[in-house]
Amino acid sequence: MEEHIISAEHLTKRYGDLLAVDDLSIGVRKGEIFGFLGPNGAGKTTTIRMLTTMTPPTSGTVSIAGHDSVREYREARGSIGVIQQHNSLDKDISVRENIVHHALMQNMKRSEIRKRVEELCGAMGLEDRMDSLVEDLSGGWKKRVSIVCSMMHRPPVLFMDEPTTGLDTQSRNALWALIKKLNGEGATIFLTTHYISEAEALCDRIGIINKGRMIALGTSDELRGRIGVVTVERQNADGTTDNAYFGGRAEAKAHMQGLPEDANVSIRRTSLEDVFLELTGRKL
């Protein structure tokens, strides 16, 4: 049987009448970068909060590294690092103080903390900012501090909720490189995003979530294959477009030949945006 380091079965979260997450089942393989892609309000943060024991599911189960998140809460919690959508750093104290405080909360020993701080802050290029107050840092640097905090106790599984939202291109690229490095060192990464390019660039597999439901799951190519990997886009005189999807170039070309000669058409690779639009009728 395939080893799933993160496993959720029939996960559901209700807030009153609102079904924020609706019967979601996911298995994430060890060593994978798994992306959770969906528009605002789709249920990404709610899912991460359930997967990371921060909020209990209304129903369904979660297991992390083989530990049930309710019955074996401590073990499950000890296996994960979490970078929340909005940072939970204390802005009135320094970078170092934030990191040390976080590590003490994880029951790490002072001597161990000292070594690990040096190692991680070196890797993140934070050496020169260790004594800065968090409130004086830009969003990109704060994100790096959050990452160091989440990594201190060497969790094998890292959850990142929209890690690059609000970052400039440079910080985003640095963070992508870091995510790949951590993954290369063996960490399993579960991240959420509403950037298609991010999901495509980083993730081994992508789950698309809409209105609390997982509507598609697979590699980027598998998802594109769901509707057809080649798109013929036809621009209409009224400014609207009609897309037709095909399994290959030859079929797409044949379709184009059947269209009126004056039709304004182009052929291109199907995108994940097309997949989302086709499956939901909405843009991401």
d(Cα 125, Cα 144) in Å, to the nearest integer?
Answer: 9
Q: How many CB atoms lie within 10 A of CB 85?
A: 16
Pick 98 or 192: Cβ nearer ligand ATP: 192
Binding mask 187-226 for ligand ATP (x = CB under 6 A): -------x--------------------------------
Among 11, 35, 45, 102, binds Mg ion (CB under 5 A): 45
**What percent of the residues of the chain are helix, what percent strand, and what percent coil, each to the nearest 5?**
40, 30, 35
d(Cα 123, Cα 114) in Å, to the nearest integer?
Answer: 15
β-pairing, 33-37 vs 205-210, is parallel
Stretch touching Mg ion by CB under 5 A, among 79-87, 225-233, 245-253, 256-264: 79-87
Residue 40 CB, shortest distance to ligand ATP, in Å, is 4
User: How many residues are listed for the chain in this entry?
Assistant: 284
Pick 14 or 180: Cβ nearer ligand ATP: 14
Cβ distance 230 to 247 under 8 Å? yes
Choose the contact partner of 41 out of Mg ion, ligand ATP, none; CB within 5 to 8 A by kind. ligand ATP
Residue 41 CB, shortest distance to Mg ion, in Å, is 8
By CB under 5 A, is residue 188 in contact with Mg ion?
A: no
Cβ distance 216 to 208 under 8 Å? yes
By CB under 5 A, is residue 84 in contact with Mg ion?
A: no
Stretch touching Mg ion by CB under 5 A, among 18-26, 77-85, 101-109, 124-132: 77-85
d(Cα 16, Cα 13) in Å, to the nearest integer?
Answer: 10
Among 6, 28, 37, 45, binds ligand ATP (CB under 6 A): 45
Binding mask 24-43 for ligand ATP (x = CB under 6 A): --------------x-xxxx
Q: How many CB atoms lie within 10 A of CB 227?
A: 20
Residue 225 CB, shortest distance to ligand ATP, in Å, is 25
By CB under 6 A, is residue 134 in contact with ligand ATP?
A: no
Rg (CA), the chain: 22
Cβ distance 68 to 76 under 8 Å? yes
